[in-house]
Amino acid sequence: MTTRPIITLPDEKTLRQVSKPIAQVDAATRALFDDMLETMYAAPGIGLAAIQIGVPLRALVIDLSKEGEDKRPLFVANPEIVASSAELSDYEEGCLSIPDYFEMVQRPREITVRYRDRNNEAMELQATGLLATCLQHEIDHLNGVLFIDHISKLKRDRVLKKFQKAAKLGKL
């Protein structure tokens, strides 16, 4: 397992790519999952999409376990949200690709996701709460969408300018 660099703003060109489907979860995909998990734990974070390490494939990892608990990683290839509730939830979201910025985002409270697991098995998962939010956040990444796209244009523009300025000053 290798810890890889995480792509951050202002690199929107990479982060806005739409990721391609994985033909089959194989040894190469499992190695990618392992690197993603290692990178996510090192950051630290609770979710990571492959595009965040510069790999435009529809793969993501999530682990909502708390410090001191056994790790419970979820490996997801080719996720598709097949149902979502009309009821919404608000969560303060952050992102490893937008460091040190957090904002309230409203998303469906419950979702159903179809995907392939680490063994290429077809799976379906009903998720609520933080897991539902995290899955939607990471699936957005696979579609070239950032969580700041769910906030006001004014706030989004401020965040983008902040990261562009920091990059110009060599502070990233």
CATH code for position 35: 3.90.45.10
Q: Is residue 2 included in any domain, yes or no? A: no
Interval 132-148 mean pLDDT: 98
The predicted pLDDT at position 172 comes to 64
pLDDT band at 50 (very low <50, low <70, confident <90, very high): very high
Q: Is residue 99 included in any domain, yes or no? A: yes
The predicted pLDDT at position 69 comes to 93
Domain that holds residue 132: 12-168
Number of structural domains the chain divides into:
1
- Integer angstrom CA distances of residue 39 from 3, 6, 43, 136: 4, 8, 6, 20
103 included as an active-site residue: no
Q: Is residue 1 included in any domain, yes or no? A: no
Q: Is residue 129 included in any domain, yes or no? A: yes
- Indicate the pTM of the whole model: 0.95
Out of 38, 80, 103, 138, which one is annotated catalytic? Answer: 138
pLDDT band at 171 (very low <50, low <70, confident <90, very high): confident
